[in-house]
Amino acid sequence: MKMTTNSIFTVFGIAALLYGVAHSSEMSAPPIKPHAAADLFARAHPDDFTGDKSCAECHPSTVNEFAASPHAAFMQDPKLPVEQRGCEGCHGPGKIHQADKDAQVISFTKMTPAESNAACLRCHAQTMSESHWKRTEHARAGLACVTCHQIHPSDEKTREPNAPNKGDVTDAKTNFFVARRSPKAMLKSEEAQLCAQCHATQAAEFKQAFHHPVPEGRVVCSDCHTPHPSKDSKVRAGVTYKEKCVTCHNEKAGPFVFEHDPVAGSSGTGCLECHRPHGANNPMLLVATTRGLCGQCHTDKLASSHHPGQTCWSAGCHVSTHGSNINPDFLDQSGGR
């Protein structure tokens, strides 16, 4: 078959295009997935662990910095198995890494949150199992331990890919609270400030006229919230808001002879039926200050003839709003009016 000049150029053009597509696909192919922690440790032999001194030959500043971290006190115990000591306890056996520096190492900046968490739980499973972690909101949101916790002091690089940028705690743009408390060990910044980076809505509520004293530094998020329950934690599934609130407001705990249903936890959301947990523009963090607050449940008492213009408690009648040992209608001790 006789081919014209144009057809020859057409053939070469198609071939070049196909080569370009194939070459482009090869160049843009995703990098080799790093070995999962469990797989890397499973393949290692005892003599594959060479100790921190070999790590310091290439990473001197990182090794020296790690010595000042809270982890170091637990990972330098000579009684520990070699796979749980020093740098190699987190990053894997040094000898295998030296043979293939790019792939044969546990790098928290290249791992998915699931892989990163699995690496941490190798040691922390003693206090928090994988099932404990997976049932938390943080786990369901796809976060990793290193989203909030730092491995090396002042090291922001140990964060999973695409994690929210926590920023500098001293940066005015991320400065949610005036009060400063010393950061807890292993957290990337002061606790309330760290939580506020993701929970901006709740942080804004603390700026309302009445709020729990988080901005003043007298309360922190973990006083009420448990970011990751442990095996020994007293927090359990189905814990009520009342059980949380009365750890500070124990005078509201009861038991009372006559209990208010929301306080007793037998209806609705308990304390949150009437109170906002973070902040409100009403005294006592109330959802409302008018008769409408009680009228959410007691609709039959909203008639204009029932003490119009006054709140149920300021009228001097129902003074024991959380519960009473005297009157089933929570009236004052004299029997009310």
What is d(CA 203, CA 197) in angstroms, rounded to the nearest whole number? 9
Q: What are the start-end ranges of the H helices in the chain?
A: 5-27, 37-43, 52-56, 60-66, 70-75, 86-91, 94-99, 113-124, 130-134, 137-140, 145-148, 191-196, 200-205, 241-245, 261-264, 291-295
What is d(CA 213, CA 193) in angstroms, rounded to the nearest whole number? 14
Name the residue with tokens 């520990």.
80
Whole-number CA gyration radius for the chain = 30
| pLDDT of amino acid 174 | 54
What is d(CA 56, CA 283) in angstroms, rounded to the nearest whole number? 58
| pLDDT of amino acid 210 | 94
| pLDDT of amino acid 307 | 67
Q: Which tokens go with 190?
A: 């002061």
Single-letter code of the amino acid located at 47: D
Tell me if 148 sits within 8 A of 113, measured CB to CB. no
DSSP string, 193-220: HHHHTT-HHHHHHTTSSEE-STTTTS--
Name the residue with tokens 């943080």.
138
| pLDDT of amino acid 276 | 92
What is d(CA 12, CA 62) in angstroms, rounded to the nearest whole number? 54
What is d(CA 160, CA 12) in angstroms, rounded to the nearest whole number? 45
N- to C-terminal Cα distance for the chain?
112
Collapsing DSSP states into helix, strand and coil, what is residue 225?
coil
Per-residue pLDDT of the chain (337 residues; tens, 9 = 90+): 444 545 444 444 444 444 443 443 333 333 334 446 667 888 888 888 988 888 888 888 888 888 888 888 888 888 888 888 888 888 888 888 887 665 677 888 788 888 888 888 888 887 788 888 888 888 888 888 888 888 887 544 444 344 444 444 444 345 667 666 666 778 887 888 888 888 888 988 998 999 999 988 888 898 888 888 776 665 444 456 777 888 889 888 888 888 888 777 776 678 888 899 999 999 899 988 777 788 888 887 776 667 666 677 777 778 888 888 888 888 876 544 4
What is d(CA 243, CA 265) in angstroms, rounded to the nearest whole number? 9
